[in-house]
């Protein structure tokens, strides 16, 4: 049994998809579907059972969770604009700590999602050096809640028996339920389809021209590939998960236009005042540590990843990830 928390979400469902491709369907999906459209991410995947995240904690306390080979903890509040710090700490810190402790007591493999948001303004140059974690200054509550768990894992020594992944700007299929937190690729595709144009934020930093703000954009399929590789090894520690190459918003937007076979038409609009003091103008993962661990995954170029996403998903009749073969009887339950 492999447990994937947040398994109906964006990255979580991509991980379930990749596990299915690798022949795994003994999977317990943990999530909170509520009134969202996340259930559609599960509709074509194979898994053994679905459990609400609160019921899952109750089962942990009662000791009724089946023996697991691994837990992939991707369940969290992923909104970088969430202002309720108690909510963030409960979901991104306390929940992860409870689950990690359960895994450590039983020798269960534990892989969890940290975030590049822990780096704040990037003064540390995005180096995944564990000795520098306490020096990081996140720019928002989301980043702090992720950093707090990293700090606990390091201070307790638990990180020597688990893997934390600092995801950078992930985009790709199955993010459709994320609303304002969806990637600019998804948003740009919608804007182009509706108006033929894309709006990007103007720069409010003298060192960056409009649209030249840069991010390390990484395709969700590549992230799932890294996690599958980590499941099969005893590698431990805190690692960046990006491509190692920063690209601009202009690059990203032009890649979407190119995938749609349209000329680029970009308008620059003022950034909301509330975001200006908490905005990252440049992110780029340092990937030497993951490469040194032996990870063989080759990350797609921005253009190749955007083309795959646009042509094979956003422009397709069914935009959701699905294994190559999905026997209907393999899905035990999706409540």
Q: What gap in Å lies between CA 198 and CA 14, rounded to an integer?
A: 27
By the 10 Å C-beta count (0-12 exposed, 13-18 middle, 19+ buried), 316 is classed as exposed
Is 95 noted as a catalytic residue in this protein?
no
Distances (CA, A) of 147 to 117, 130, 293: 8, 11, 22
Q: What gap in Å lies between CA 211 and CA 218, rounded to an integer?
A: 18
Residues 146/115, Cβ–Cβ less than 8 Å: yes
Q: What gap in Å lies between CA 102 and CA 92, rounded to an integer?
A: 16
Annotated catalytic residue: which of 26, 40, 53, 178? 178
Q: What gap in Å lies between CA 111 and CA 3, rounded to an integer?
A: 10
Q: Could you identify the residue written with the tokens 């050096």?
A: 129
Distances (CA, A) of 2 to 49, 67, 335: 11, 9, 18
Q: Which element (helix H / strand E) includes 167? A: strand 163-167
Annotated catalytic residue: which of 142, 144, 219, 313? 142
Is 178 noted as a catalytic residue in this protein?
yes
By three-state DSSP, how is residue 177 classified? Answer: coil
Query: Which residues touch 130 (CB under 8 Å, ≥6 apart)?
Result: 154, 159, 237, 238
Distances (CA, A) of 233 to 66, 110, 279: 22, 12, 36
H-state helical runs in 43-198: 53-62, 85-89, 95-106, 141-156, 184-195
Active site (catalytic) residues: 142, 178
């Amino acid at each position: 049994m492999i447990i994937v928390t947040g398994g109906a979400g964006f990255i979580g469902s991509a991980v379930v998809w990749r596990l299915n491709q690798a022949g795994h369907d003994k999977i317990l999906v943990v999530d909170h579907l509520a009134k969202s459209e996340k259930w559609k991410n599960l509709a074509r995947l194979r898994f053994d059972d679905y459990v609400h995240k609160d019921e899952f904690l109750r089962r942990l306390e009662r000791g009724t969770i089946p023996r697991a080979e691994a837990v992939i903890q991707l369940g969290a509040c992923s909104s970088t604009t969430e202002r309720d710090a108690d909510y963030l700490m409960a979901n991104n810190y306390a929940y992860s700590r409870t689950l990690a402790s359960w895994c450590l007591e039983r020798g269960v493999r534990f892989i969890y999602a940290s975030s590049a948001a822990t780096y704040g303004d990037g003064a540390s140059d995005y180096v995944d050096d564990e000795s520098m974690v306490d020096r990081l200054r996140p720019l928002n509550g989301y980043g702090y809640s992720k950093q707090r768990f990293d700090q606990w894992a390091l201070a307790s020594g638990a990180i020597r028996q688990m893997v934390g992944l600092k995801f950078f700007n992930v985009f790709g299929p199955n993010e459709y339920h994320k609303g304002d937190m969806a990637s600019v690729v998804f948003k740009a595709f919608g804007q182009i389809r509706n108006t033929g144009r894309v709006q990007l934020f103007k720069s409010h930093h003298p060192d960056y021209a409009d649209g030249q703000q840069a991010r390390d954009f990484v395709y969700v399929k590549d992230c799932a590939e890294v996690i599958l590789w980590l499941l099969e090894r005893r590698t431990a520690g805190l690692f960046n998960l990006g491509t190692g190459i920063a690209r601009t918003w202009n690059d990203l937007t032009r890649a979407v236009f190119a995938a749609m076979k349209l000329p680029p038409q970009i308008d620059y609009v003022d950034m909301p005042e509330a975001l200006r003091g908490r905005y990252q103008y440049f992110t780029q993962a340092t990937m030497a540590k993951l490469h040194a661990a032996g990870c063989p995954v080759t990350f797609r170029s921005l253009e190749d990843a955007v083309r795959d996403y646009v042509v094979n998903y956003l422009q397709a009749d069914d935009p959701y990830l699905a294994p190559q073969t999905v026997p209907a009887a393999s899905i035990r339950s999706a409540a």
